[in-house]
């Protein structure tokens, strides 16, 4: 695979780049961003993956996440993929809703028409893009990586981290959808992409994965108390109960007065990156 450089900028002694490539998984051009911190020639570095939420692209966290200073100090490569395939031929929600279709891939491999051809974000994020990053950037052994995300991306980070615990040394999330099988966003996305068999949904539901035996040593979750989606869509108490029953060390921090925005994410981003770095090193 080859990549096209869209832009590069020097920042905090490192390089923030935006890149494109032709994805075999999605059948589309995909855009992603990578921050490479300053490092000695020939050195290799651990990787932190960041998965974004509904309506977002790579650009939201790249422009608003305020991660570069911490990544430069901690020696972390920061990778931000897109949230769905894009293009004129890619099917969208018939009514153009924000919570399904373009910008809302939910990090699954769709099996339902007409989405199955392009909406293969699970395989894209867990297989295709990691192989490309390993080839093109100064990454350490790919077992030295971690994953985090926000909202729908928090859902993706939790489910991927729980599925591949040997690969991801740390897993954290900002305001994640912890149990999509039990909330309206999931009730729309999961049958739309995966069909009506709820057994298929369980591998894409963090609470269900834990109930079914998936384990990681520890999780870090920050949730704002002024988040408009807290009670109806996010329900962190379900994750707390599941982790307590499974013996998973969950640090769930309810941040008073914070909402669902990147003002919230950027405030606690350095905490998360330090938590990841301690486990990656």
- Dihedral-angle region of residue 211 (phi above 0 means left; psi in -120 to 50 means alpha; beta otherwise): alpha
Q: Give catalytic status of residue 166 as yes or no.
A: no
List 33, 84, 151, 172, catalytic entry: 151
Buried b (16+ CB within 10 A) or exposed e, 225-250: eebebbeebbbbebbbebbeeeebeb
Contact 227, 234 (CB under 8 A): yes
Q: Which of 119, 77, 89, 91 is nearest to 204 (CA)?
A: 119
SS (H, E, C) 62-130: HHHCCCHHHHHHHCCEEEECCCCCCCCCCCCCCCCCCCCECCECCCCECCCCCCCCCCEHHHHHHHHHH
Q: Give catalytic status of residue 172 as yes or no.
A: no
Q: Give catalytic status of residue 99 as yes or no.
A: no
Place of tokens 């991306």: 153
Distance, CA of 214 to CA of 233 (rounded, Å) = 22
List 99, 109, 222, 227, catalytic entry: 227
Compute the chain's Rg from CA coordinates.
17
List 58, 150, 260, 276, catalytic entry: 260
Q: Sheet with 47-51: list strands edge to edge.
A: 4-11, 14-22, 29-36, 77-80, 47-51, 145-150, 168-174, 218-224, 249-255
By annotation, the residues acting in catalysis are 151, 227, 260
């Amino acid at each position: 695979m080859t990549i096209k450089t869209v832009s590069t900028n020097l920042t905090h002694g490192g390089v923030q780049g935006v890149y494109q490539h032709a994805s075999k998984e999605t059948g589309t051009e995909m855009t992603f961003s990578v921050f490479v911190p300053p490092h000695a020639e020939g050195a290799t570095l651990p990787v932190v993956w960041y998965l974004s939420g509904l309506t977002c692209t790579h650009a939201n966290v790249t422009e608003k996440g305020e991660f570069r200073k911490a990544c430069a100090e901690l020696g972390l490569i920061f990778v931000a993929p897109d949230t769905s395939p894009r293009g004129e031929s890619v099917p969208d929600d018939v009514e153009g809703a924000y919570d399904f279709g373009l910008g809302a891939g939910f990090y699954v491999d769709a099996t339902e028409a007409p989405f199955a051809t392009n909406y293969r974000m699970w395989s894209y994020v867990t297989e295709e893009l990691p192989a490309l990053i390993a080839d093109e950037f100064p990454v350490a052994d790919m077992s030295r990586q971690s994953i985090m995300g926000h909202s729908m991306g928090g859902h993706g980070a939790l489910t991927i981290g729980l599925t591949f615990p040997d690969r991801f040394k740390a897993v954290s999330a900002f305001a994640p959808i912890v149990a999509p099988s039990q909330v309206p966003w999931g009730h729309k996305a999961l049958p739309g992409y995966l069909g009506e068999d709820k057994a298929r949904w369980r591998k894409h539901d963090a609470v269900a994965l834990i109930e079914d035996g998936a384990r990681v040593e520890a999780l870090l979750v920050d949730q704002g108390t002024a988040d408009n989606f807290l009670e109806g869509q996010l329900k962190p108490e379900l994750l707390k109960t599941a982790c307590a029953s499974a013996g998973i060390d969950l640090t769930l921090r309810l941040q008073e007065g914070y909402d669902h925005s990147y003002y919230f994410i950027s405030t606690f981003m350095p905490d998360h990156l330090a938590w990841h770095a301690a486990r990656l090193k």
